[in-house]
Amino acid sequence: MAEQVLIRQGAEARVYKTELSGRAVIAKQRFSKKYRHPDLDRKLTRGRLNQEARSLKRCLEHNIRVPEIVRVDKDTATLYMEYVAGPTLKEWIFDNSNEQEERQLMTVVGMILFKMHSNNIIHGDLTTSNIIIDDQGEMVLIDFGLSQISVSAEDKAVDLYVLERAFISTHPNSERLFASVLEAYGAEDSAAEPILRRLEDVRQRGRKRDMSG
């Protein structure tokens, strides 16, 4: 049995680094919720496992860089994926002070997100911790545990809003960074316009919630 190193434990799953057939992989194991009826729990757990695998597969089909799926073990609710080495975007931003490099990288982020949304893939948990820069300098989106497939401009706008809030809460004075993401997101296709308009609506709702406590 290969050694398992716990990387992260969230509300839904434990994430390990381990080996499978001599290959370094990430194992994401969803665990049961004791407060749910066992049959419902199995159904929900399997549904989220399958949805995450489908979203990753859809990204790969459209040349969006995500970890390759190595194995889906439905019996243990575990998704085995390619291990991607490299800093997260969060770490890269903290370590970098070159504004030109930052702008170039944010442009790539915006283009990738637009491509993902153009193929109706909603990530569901976009943060700078869920983007890795691999050893080739490519951006890799990870953690599709809350993902869905949707044509809704609202869902895509909320995806962007989640990332914007992540920038604000994690990276002080980062307004210019997210502005560069949005500039690239809407640069080449008019299909981005209704999503960006909806983003402003989502922002206004968010501000009202903040003011109301």
Q: Hey, which residues are catalytic here?
A: 125
Could you please report the per-residue DSSP string of 118-161?
Answer: HTTEE-S---TTSEEE-TTS-EEE---TT-EE---HHHHHHHHH
Report the SS3 class of residue 97. Answer: coil
Element of type H or E holding 99: helix 99-118
Q: How many residues does the chain have?
A: 213
Task: From residue 48, give the alpha-carbon distance in Å to each of 78, 160, 168.
Answer: 11, 22, 29
DSSP state of 19: E
